[in-house]
Amino acid sequence: MIEQILLIIGAAIFGVLGVLHFYYTFFTDKFMTRDRKVAEAMKGTSPLLTKQTSVWNAWMGFNGSHSLGAIFIAVFYILLAVTHMDVIRETRAFILLAVLIGLSYLVLAIKYWFRIPMIGILIATLCFIVSAILIFT
């Protein structure tokens, strides 16, 4: 029972972070550059990979898809934990995948992001790890 609650809490943290990130990306200016000239330069140039998009559009798309990934992880694990916790206990790859996802996001957060999402991801990952330990013992 505790492992189920921890898994749901960890997934919910991912969901909250994903929804906030999505909202901040598309409905606020929180991800706008402090120097507006940089944003204009991003809108006026394309990456070497292709001329079919601007660096700005790629930036917005990366942020949007990143948000959707976190939301998907949350929805998937919350639904799985609520409706089929037995599957997670029997097919331990599901809980190991949650731990791996959490650790992967944590590495990215430590290396590239800022403190608030890093702390949230750390807490979520610890929930996944403790849940996994309880499932395996």
pLDDT by residue, tens only, the chain of 137 residues = 999 999 999 999 999 999 999 999 999 999 899 999 999 999 999 999 999 999 999 999 999 999 999 999 999 999 999 999 999 999 999 999 999 999 999 999 999 999 999 999 999 999 999 999 999 99
Q: Residue 44: what pLDDT?
A: 94
How far is residue 9's CA from residue 134's CA, in Å, rounded to a whole number? 15
pLDDT for position 81: 97
DSSP for 5-16 reads HHHHHHHHHHHH
What is the model's pTM?
A: 0.91
Q: What is the pLDDT of residue 60?
A: 94
Which amino acid, 67?
A: S
The pLDDT of residue 102 is 97
Q: Where are the domains of the chain?
A: 2-136
Q: Are 125 and 109 in contact (CB under 8 A)?
A: no
The backbone torsions φ and ψ at residue 19, rounded to the nearest 5 degrees and listed phi first, read: -65, -45
CB 80 within 8 A of CB 135: no
Is residue 31 a contact partner of residue 63, using CB atoms and an 8 Å limit?
yes
